[in-house]
Amino acid sequence: MPSRKKTSMFASSFCTCVCSFVVICVVLATPQWVSSEVRFSRTGSTVTVSLTYGLFSGTCEQFVDAGLQVSKTTFQVSEALSSTRSRSLIVATIVVLVLALLSSLLSAGFTCTNAVSNPYQTFLGPIGVYTWNSMCGVLILIAMILFPVNVQGNSLSEELAHSCSSSLQAHLGSQHNYGYSYWLMLLILFLNIASLIIIYFYDHARYSKKKEQERPIENAPKDVILF
């Protein structure tokens, strides 16, 4: 059975991994990734298309000239996209987050195993926790980069706005604000770092204790050496 200190530290790390798993699920499920206002010209008027969307679905509103609301509709992101590049980056972002979800789940499994037992394999110990937490953090960073690249570089909001209205003409400008679903990924990074720090302190304390138990003979008392 593991010591009380090991159990408490790995249990704390397990809690952070579970929280990370839950937050990734929330990030995937909620459509509050970005809110965009895209302005277009139309014959005799200016149309502002307001969009709020995530990786799977979103809502779209149209405002003509002085704020007259024309309609509000919902749409599926994958169905509304005609550009292969934009759709590929959306799919890539989803795949990266699913892999991060699996990494977080594996990390939770490893920390739970260490909290209740002493695994024989080295990889099932702190090394495995380091590996899966680090992988989860890297994947989250990749997702945080891919989505803005798609919005800013591939004009994702403009493309989705065209799917809301077929009579839009010249694009006049866009404004983007990233929502809580996007910024929650920073919380996931924080949780992964917290888990790594907890396991590092446990591993460092264990290593220091092991070194103390393996002191060289010259550090032993003189009467023991004479004996």
**Sequence spans of domains, the chain:** 4-205
Q: What is the 3-state secondary structure (H, E, C) of the chain?
A: CCCHHHHHHHHHHHHHHHHHHHHHHHHHHCCCCEEEEEEEEECCEEEEEEEEECCCEEEEEEEECCCEEEEEEEEEHHHHCCCHHHHHHHHHHHHHHHHHHHHHHHHHHHHHHHHHCCCCCHHHCHHHHHHHHHHHHHHHHHHHHHHHHHHHHCCHHHHHHHHHCCCCCCEEEEEEEECHHHHHHHHHHHHHHHHHHHHHHHHHHHHHHHHHHCCCHHHCCHHHHHC
Global pTM reads 0.84
Q: How far apart are CA 206 and CA 50, in angstroms?
A: 56
Residue 157 clears pLDDT 70, i.e. is over it:
yes
Of the ranges 16-30, 51-65, 168-182, the best mean pLDDT one: 16-30
pLDDT in tens, 76-135: 998 888 888 889 999 999 999 999 999 999 999 989 888 888 876 677 888 888 899 999
pLDDT in tens, 173-219: 889 999 999 999 999 999 999 999 988 888 766 655 565 555 554 45
CATH of 4-205, one of 1.20.140, 3.30.750, 1.10.10, 1.20.120: 1.20.140
Token pair of 200 as six digits: 């590092």
For position 62, what pLDDT does the model report? 84
Token pair of 185 as six digits: 């990924």
Q: Which residue has the higher pLDDT, 33 or 7?
A: 33
At which residue do the structure tokens 């590996």 appear? 131
Q: How far apart are CA 104 and CA 110, in angstroms?
A: 10
Q: Which of 27, 30, 33, 28 is nearest to 176 (CA)?
A: 33
193 by Cβ neighbours in 10 Å (0-12 / 13-18 / 19+) ranks as: middle
Residue 154 clears pLDDT 50, i.e. is over it:
yes
Average pLDDT, rounded, for the chain? 84
pLDDT band at 64 (very low <50, low <70, confident <90, very high): confident
Average of per-residue pLDDT across 11-23: 93
CA 30 from chain center: how many Å? 13
Q: How far apart are CA 160 and CA 162, in angstroms?
A: 5
